[in-house]
Chains A and B, each alone.
Chain A
Amino acid sequence: MPFSVFIAFKYLLDEKRQTLFIMSACAIGVAVMVFLYGLISGLQRSLVDRTLGSQAHIILNANKEKPRPLAESGNDTAVMARVERGFDRPQMISDWPRRIEAVAASSGIVAVAPRLTGAALLRRGDVTRPVGVSGIEPDSFTTIIPLAKSVVAGRYDLVGDEIFVGKDLADDLGVTVGDRVALQTRGGAVNFLISAVFDLGNRSVNENQVFVSLRQAQALLGAPGDINQIDTRVGEIFEAEKIARRLEKETGIETISWMEQNSQLLIALRSQSSSSYLIQFFVMVAVALGIASVLVVSVVQKRAEIGILRAFGTKRSVVTRIFLIQGAVVGLLGSTVGCFIGTGLAMFFRDSAKNPDGTPRFPISYELSEYVVFILIATLVGIIAASLPARQAARIDPAQVVH
């Protein structure tokens, strides 16, 4: 064992009460950090999961046709015109199987699915509701939005004229699995058989969205063989905007990421994270001051001992190291204990308040890498906190303190 480590441990063990005191201060500080982080990241993750539970990470939309004037101004003519947006003719993504392949091969994308969307009226008896119709391939679509897992009644399959309806729409119309409904478009009405009722945890989607097979949608919306949307899922959700911009450049198709669609939510999450980081920063400053003050006192108490170490051939750099190691050990062990305390506290908090459906009101989220980061930060803080007393110790002149 290196001499500096040997002496550092001897000092820490010799002053057990003092060591326990600073280690406890460090543990409590880290416990607060871990607790805060777990709680806030859990809440954020839950919010993001809920938001992304019913929408794709990135959507590639067929470019909308831009209205243009019938005549343009020339060198010797001036055209006074007001361009108004008229009826949007549905635009389609051309050569979509090849484009889907290209998008799937793009880095950061983990799943891709085609979709044809349009508007229709859903009729059940005398009751009519406007709905958005999505033509999907069930297998690929559920890799984007977990629709298969969200089925609350029936089976996740679309064969022939089958349709999925949302829970709230089904309740509104008084229909269930096995019932028939009609979808009316400009081209006419088509009857469908309800094969599943889903609940995506989003009232708006549950009330206004229905899913049919892609082929049925193409027939219903008068777009045989076409799609107007490509849905994708990315590996890193917070990279979605960057990937979306890249995809737009690569494909020439207009893209929109979930981050763009939920910019207010993101601002709120970022503000929450910033305040959490600020609290964690000040907690660490308090921990650092605690470690530094105890070690400064220790240096004052051990002036003669440090003088003796120096007199008997211990270099200044080794004296510095002895105190830096003490700071590091306090940070390392204190933060390890703090991680356990913080996690225990968070778990208690999570288990003590539940929603009616049994899910925790305060979801907690941790990953092993986050613990490693906390421990590394606390160890670094311990070393930084010890640097002042360490320098003070290294400057001790043995001739002044040993008699």
Chain B
Amino acid sequence: MSAILDLRGITKTYGTRIKTQVLHGIDLTVSRGDFLAITGQSGSGKTTLLNIMGLLDRSTTGNLLVNGTDTAGMDDEAITALRGRTLGFVFQFHHLLPALTILENVMMPMMADKGREMPGMRESATELLKRVGLGERLKYKPDEVSGGQRQRAAIARALAMRPAVILADEPTGNLDSVSSAEVFTLLREINKADGTAFCIVTHDAAIAKTCDRIVEIVDGRLV
């Protein structure tokens, strides 16, 4: 199966005078349908790796290929467009825009891509929200729904552009155990139904165990 994300010898160093190398030659591939857990202790470099995989940050050396295309020479505009169309994000905190309704939050990535609201966007976002069980909460603002519902809305937003990969950084870290289980089940269902690949950064060993693949980072190296 061809790789959607192909990381080759990725390193990341912070600082100019005092240099701190966070990642050391990471090689990793993510293919369609993957359900991958990235585990590791705090400060091991998990989030840095996720940021590089999500085109939110650039590696110091090494190459990241997205659908076979090397992203090294791309300018910020091309990277932004590629990120918007290929990748989805779910963060520990939902990060829904408080000024927008739940529906508008889900429409946001589509509108950002096309530059305006196009016919069908509203219906598509409504379908996604129905799928995550928020069909009755379309006009609600994020602060008017529960924590679990916000995170489900964030998942619907991540799905808005039908991305090939969703990168999730501790997606259940802020939820109670019931909501956490619900959200994780939802991610799994989407993975099975659509073939969307998931890379989930988690501390939770129980969650990691249920994933198809587990990679562990120790001091910036995959083990």
Contact B112 A318 (CB under 8 A): yes
Interface residues contributed by chain A, number (CB under 8 Å)? 29
CB distance from B96 to the nearest CB of A (A): 8
Cα separation A7 to B169 with both chains bound (whole Å):
26
Closest B residue to A9 by CB, please name it. Answer: B99
From B47, B80, B111, contact of A6 by CB (8 A): B111
Contact A305 B93 (CB under 8 A): no
Contact A403 B116 (CB under 8 A): no
Q: Is B115's beta carbon under 8 Å from chain A?
A: yes
- B104: A residues at CB distance < 8 A: 10
Closest A residue to B141 by CB, please name it. Answer: A14
- B97: A residues at CB distance < 8 A: 10, 305, 308-309
From A10, A14, A312, contact of B112 by CB (8 A): A312
Q: Which chain A residues in 1-16 approach chain B with CB under 8 Å?
A: 1-3, 6-7, 10-11, 13-15
CB distance from B55 to the nearest CB of A (A): 9
Most buried by A among B57, B83, B97: B97
> Which range holds the interface residue count of chain B?
35 or more
- A15: B residues at CB distance < 8 A: 99
Cα separation A40 to B54 with both chains bound (whole Å):
61
Contact A2 B95 (CB under 8 A): no
Contact A312 B117 (CB under 8 A): no
Contact B54 A311 (CB under 8 A): yes
Closest A residue to B82 by CB, please name it. Answer: A313
Closest A residue to B83 by CB, please name it. Answer: A313
- A318: B residues at CB distance < 8 A: 112, 115
Binding site for A on B (CB under 8 A): 47, 51, 54, 56-57, 76-77, 80-81, 83-85, 89, 91-93, 95, 97-100, 104, 108-109, 111-117, 157, 160-161, 169
Identify 11 new A-B residue pairs, CB closer than 8 A, beyond the known A313-B109, A318-B115: A3-B115, A7-B99, A11-B99, A305-B95, A305-B97, A309-B112, A312-B157, A313-B80, A313-B112, A314-B112, A318-B112
A-B contact pairs, 11 of them (CB 8 A): A3-B114, A6-B116, A7-B99, A304-B95, A309-B97, A309-B108, A314-B112, A315-B112, A397-B57, A402-B89, A403-B92
